[in-house]
Amino acid sequence: MSTQKYTDIIVDIKDGIGTIKFNRPKALNSFSSSLMSDTVDALRMLDDHPDTVFTVITGEGRFFCSGADVSNVSARKMDFKHDGEKKLYWASEFAYAAEVIRSIIEHKKVVVLAMNGPGVGAGASWFQGSSDIFYMADSAWLQVTFSQLGLIPENGSAVNWAHSIGVHRANDWLMFGGKATAQELVQMGMVNKLFPTEGFHEKVHGYLVEMLRERSGKSMMEMKRLQNKSTRDARILAVWEAWQALAERFVDGEPSQRMKAKSEELAARRKERASKM
């Protein structure tokens, strides 16, 4: 069964598996307010679905998710009466994203991140630590660039990554940034299993169907509940604190300056490429 009420995601329910697929391939599945609100609604719907065990989050096209659109963020409102107004503006801007990750943490079904392709920024950090199981296409990679843009690891990523790969390794990646291949992420203990890029979605779906063939879905979901019980409060608090910290970074103004410079750099590169064609 597929649902048709969404504009920026595709939702499919089949064989005990609910799949949420980001569907902005021309924009490399970068986040829009519609994509995030659609995802929140789909998570709510699948949370109460009587026939699913797994909720898979993946992407359409060659990218999983390229995160926020830098040019869009750098072009937002900059004229404020005072810092109080500025703080409320940016906190409200980031509320959508915080609700996406809160919804994943609280989700009753087993959340499977299936990175079909590269993830950058938010697409490389939000879902990796908050999911229950993490699969990746063998040619995919992720790249984090928080400090380069004057940001902080968003939506509890600092805590969620530390839970997955340890504090020192999480600090190294999220503070300094970097790019990691799927194979490196397996070695770090972040990724559970790699699948061939060709036919990735079908292979992940088939694997999960096989896992359900002789196993109790209710037992799996209860295992998830018990495993997450001791960390739930810390993870929710981490989402809240990161939300507030990110808004304060924008009150400071450094991210907007760095993003504007990055946007201008990208525009210059595009203009140079176009001139050579």
Using 50, 70 and 90 to split pLDDT, how confident is the model at 64?
very high
Using 50, 70 and 90 to split pLDDT, how confident is the model at 74?
low
Between the CA atoms of 245, 247, 248 and 250, what dihedral angle is there, to the nearest 10 degrees?
A: 130
- For residue 275, what pLDDT is reported? 81
- Mean residue pLDDT across the chain: 92
pLDDT at 3 over 60: no
Q: What does the pLDDT average to over 69-93?
A: 82
Tell me the CATH number of domain 2-276, given options 3.40.50.1370, 3.40.50.300, 3.90.226.10, 3.40.640.10: 3.90.226.10
pLDDT at 21 over 70: yes
- For residue 68, what pLDDT is reported? 80
- For residue 76, what pLDDT is reported? 72
pTM of the predicted structure, to 2 decimals: 0.91
pLDDT at 70 over 90: no
pLDDT at 2 over 60: no
Q: Are 195 and 203 contacting, i.e. CB atoms less than 8 angstroms apart?
A: yes
Q: Where are the domains of the chain?
A: 2-276
Angle between helices 232-252 and 157-165 (to 10 degrees): 130
pLDDT at 161 over 60: yes
More confidently predicted of 18 and 256: 18
Q: What does the pLDDT average to over 199-210?
A: 98
The 3-state DSSP class for residue 255 equals helix
Q: Rounded CA gap, 220 and 2, in Å? A: 24
Q: What does the pLDDT average to over 96-106?
A: 96
Q: Which residues, 6 or more positions from 42, have their beta carbon under 8 angstroms from its beta carbon?
A: 3, 6, 9, 11, 18, 20
- For residue 266, what pLDDT is reported? 76
pLDDT at 75 over 70: no
Q: What does the pLDDT average to over 246-270?
A: 85
Q: Give the residue from 46, 52, 48, 54 showing the smallest Cα distance to 9.
A: 46
- For residue 69, what pLDDT is reported? 67
